[in-house]
Amino acid sequence: MISAWSAISPFGLDAVAFAEGVQGGRRPADCAVPGFDTREVLGRKGTRTMDRVTALAVATAKPLVEGLGDETALVLGTNVSSVKSSMDFARDTLTEEKPFYVDAGRFPNAVLNCAAAQCAIWHTLKGPNATVSGGRATGLLALNYARRLHRSGRATGAVLCGATEELTEERSWLELKDASSPLSEGCAMFLLERDGPGQAEVLAVEFGVCSDLTQAGGVLRRCVDRAFASSDAEPESLWLIVGSGGEGEDLDGIPAKRLCVTDLVGDTFAASSAFGIATVLALAEAERRDGTALVTAVDRDGVVGCALLRLTGEGTR
């Protein structure tokens, strides 16, 4: 059960700003997170070498961890951690007087699990800690991993899951030629608990792969069919479908309201499906919706996925 959520996005520094922005239905002109300065948001202590993608994750987790036990687990999705940190570190080996004259304190930022590790350190989370990476499907992969931690008994308490992405010049150099929407950044996280009240129950998370993106639509349709078949939900109960901006996410013939997260917040890539889930929760809360909702993702490398959520009509944050 998703009992709470948090987001830092181009709409602002909290979930309230994100919800208001999504309800307005208009993408911000500037897709960078406004007013996000690491030292101002998190303080000066321990942030000298912290990169932006990690800072976004640490700050997003902060309102969710209050009151949680230290056995809380964390599953965080990212693309390649910080592209800027990796490029800066590699550049220093070429431009400094000696190849080993580098700032060793910045090396951890180039490691994939840096953001998840820093979240655990900052918020004293001692449960299982994992990092996943799967392009636009990253948020769904993190959600599925969190469910598996509960089902296997590896996580005995709550599980935080979500995904983070940064907007830097270095990422723009790599991504701009493939981007169909303005590049963006942010982080969305969710608190999963075994029991108790919440805003949405995760009924199913399904994945597939395709070797050619022209096949993505058919693969996604089969994922959706399996999601409904494995749950007790009926397709007629579907209220909303939120896509992540990939190819083949149309799902023609399914009667439901449709949104694309890139139209709302820009291309957050690794965080796109996490923002898709946040969009469902924000709109469901505003309209006190029940029924079901679907979040889909198709990555350019062929990872296809969907999450089927049952909405309770309850508000949370």
The radius of gyration of the chain's CA atoms, rounded to the nearest angstrom, is 19
* Shared-domain flag, residues 151 and 287: no
* Shared-domain flag, residues 206 and 185: no
Question: What CATH number is given to the structural domain containing 87?
Answer: 3.40.47.10
Residue count of the chain: 317
* Shared-domain flag, residues 276 and 175: no
* Shared-domain flag, residues 161 and 237: no
Residue burial 187-225, b: 16+ Cβ < 10 Å; e: rest: bbbbbbbeeeebbbebbbbbbbebeebeebbebbbebbe
Number of domains in the chain: 2
* Shared-domain flag, residues 213 and 167: no
* Shared-domain flag, residues 132 and 237: no
**Which residue, of 137, 172, 192, is where some domain finishes?**
192
Residue 215 host element (H or E): none
pLDDT tens per residue, range 23-58: 998 898 888 999 999 999 999 998 888 999 999 999
* Shared-domain flag, residues 111 and 260: no
Residue 79 has pLDDT above 80, yes or no: yes
Is there a domain that residue 316 lies in? no
Helix 114-123 / helix 52-65 crossing angle, nearest 10 deg:
40
pLDDT tens per residue, range 130-145: 999 999 999 999 999 9
* Shared-domain flag, residues 216 and 180: no
Least confident range from 9-13, 55-59, 252-256: namely 252-256
Q: Residue 200 in contact with residue 302, Cβ under 8 Å?
A: no
pTM here is 0.93
* Shared-domain flag, residues 138 and 94: yes
Query: What's the domain range around 22?
Result: 2-192
DSSP state of 73: E
pLDDT tens per residue, range 255-300: 899 999 999 999 999 999 999 999 999 999 998 888 999 999 999 9
Mean residue pLDDT across the chain = 91
* Shared-domain flag, residues 172 and 29: yes
Is there a domain that residue 274 lies in? yes
- Measure the CA–CA gap between 224 and 290, rounded to whole angstroms: 19
Q: Residue 72 in contact with residue 127, Cβ under 8 Å?
A: yes
255, with CB counted inside 10 A (0-12, 13-18, 19+), is: exposed
